[in-house]
Structure 1
């Protein structure tokens, strides 16, 4: 009798045409779950059709070298994504029910690998004020706040983001 050991069917791959709907859904659900108190009604006011089109463009026609979108899969289902630009992880979200399953770590590792391949020596990302879960995740991944912050107007209220970075 052969022994069978189950392994998780999880992976990260470059996003392809058709992934934009899942990316939009994940982004909205993640923002609604994580940032409702900071963003208020701004999440409910999002134009998801326009977001989907922007993600489709980013996936099909990146604006230049060093830009890309990666997706995390649990089996055949897209459960997270990361968007990279030269030197930056612009966005990294995992659908709330799939958090703490390694998807974020796999996405961040793939994003950093992509940045290294593009010749980058540092990674930066931005953390919305009050996102303690993301701060713990980034800290455990070797990133830290570098003292830079910016204020963003959401249309409902201004919010503060802090930059986190690490040498890679």
Structure 2
């Protein structure tokens, strides 16, 4: 039986992070984002961006591993104002104590093994250590798998939506919010 764990990402992980993003987006998000968008993903460009994220002091990047394989990743940090602002433009009182989980991606072939939950729980713990009291994330309204995942962790839509234009599709995203005291069962 392989050992599964989550650890902070380093520069040696950025190529695998980029590979996982390309693979997951091509398999799961082509219909949501548009085929041209996902076909245009370049693992080299993404690796350069992930390299910066891994080094950024306000960003926590984690990788999930099963045995010697990197199977997923998660990115979190303090939530920027635009991610917590209400639809009417006001900031909630806890804006400076809110963390953002920017992404949780696990390769489909490694799915249903708890990697996503371990990634989210690790990110939530780190956000609490940074002083965050709750978390937010954005999920495409049509992404039933991600919505189900976050709802299973107790994160639910808070009524705020945003619309993104990918150049090929318009994507409606729901903001979900939840507690950071996640425990793995």
TM-score (norm 1): 0.90
Q: 1:112 maps to which residue? A: 124
Report if the CA contact (8 A) 1:70-1:107 is conserved: yes
Could you tell me which of 12, 15, 18 is aligned with 1:24? 18
TM-superposed deviation, 1:40: 1.8
> 1:21-60 counterparts in 2 under 5 A?
21-41=15-35, 42-59=37-54
Aligned residues: 159
* Counterpart-to-counterpart distance in 2, 1:113 and 1:28: 27
Q: 1:152 maps to which residue? A: 164
Which blocks of at least 5 consecutive residues in structure 2 are unaligned?
Answer: 79-98, 181-185
Structure 1 segments of 4 or more deviating over 2 A? none
SS of equivalent to 2:161: strand
Aligned CA RMSD, in angstroms, stands at 1.2
Report if the CA contact (8 A) 1:18-1:56 is conserved: no
Could you tell me which of 53, 75, 95 is aligned with 2:107? 95
* Counterpart-to-counterpart distance in 2, 1:31 and 1:164: 20
Report if the CA contact (8 A) 2:60-2:123 is conserved: no
* Counterpart-to-counterpart distance in 1, 2:67 and 2:2: 8
> 1:114-133 counterparts in 2 under 5 A?
114-133=126-145
Q: 1:13 maps to which residue? A: 7
* Counterpart-to-counterpart distance in 2, 1:90 and 1:25: 17
* Counterpart-to-counterpart distance in 2, 1:99 and 1:115: 24
Deviation per CA, 1:43-98: give whole Å up to 9, x if none: 00123321110001111x21x43x11000000121100000121010011001100
TM-superposed deviation, 1:151: 1.0
Q: 2:83 maps to which residue? A: none
* Counterpart-to-counterpart distance in 1, 2:114 and 2:129: 22
